[in-house]
């Protein structure tokens, strides 16, 4: 190990001990211990992850299978056919006749 790394680890350990491991080991009479808060955050994150995975699994398995859409030429032919069939029964109104 490099001497700089050992020095940084020593500084980290000294700071951790001076602050009672950043409040993790603080007794209940000075303030509430942060271990239950960290545990609650871990459990909440775990449950959120499970819910997200369940949602994604349901979303992926409930979506309809991918189908190929018809080409634009076929869509244009169908639109023209629909328009022709609609216009075949068209009779102009009296005000449209000249």
One domain, residues 47 and 23: no
For the segment 34-57, what is each residue's pLDDT rounded down to a tens digit?
777 788 889 999 999 999 999 999
Containing structural domain, residue 71:
34-82
Q: Do the Cβ atoms of 34 and 24 come closer than 8 Å?
A: yes
Tens of pLDDT, residue by residue over 5-23, are: 888 888 877 777 666 666 6
41 and 76: one domain?
Answer: yes
Regarding pTM above 0.75, the answer is no
Looking at the fold, whether 78 and 55 belong to one and the same domain comes out as yes
CA-to-CA dists, residue 38 to 7, 26, 33, 43, 66, angstroms: 28, 14, 9, 9, 44
């Amino acid at each position: 190990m490099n001497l700089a790394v050992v020095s940084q680890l020593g500084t980290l350990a000294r700071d951790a001990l001076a602050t009672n491991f950043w409040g993790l080991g603080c007794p209940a009479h000075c303030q509430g211990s942060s271990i239950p808060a960290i545990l609650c955050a871990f459990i909440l994150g775990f449950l959120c992850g499970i819910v997200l995975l369940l949602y994604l699994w349901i979303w992926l398995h409930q979506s309809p299978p991918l189908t190929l859409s018809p080409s634009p030429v076929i869509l244009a032919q169908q639109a023209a056919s629909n328009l022709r069939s609609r216009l075949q029964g068209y009779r102009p109104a009296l005000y449209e006749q000249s």
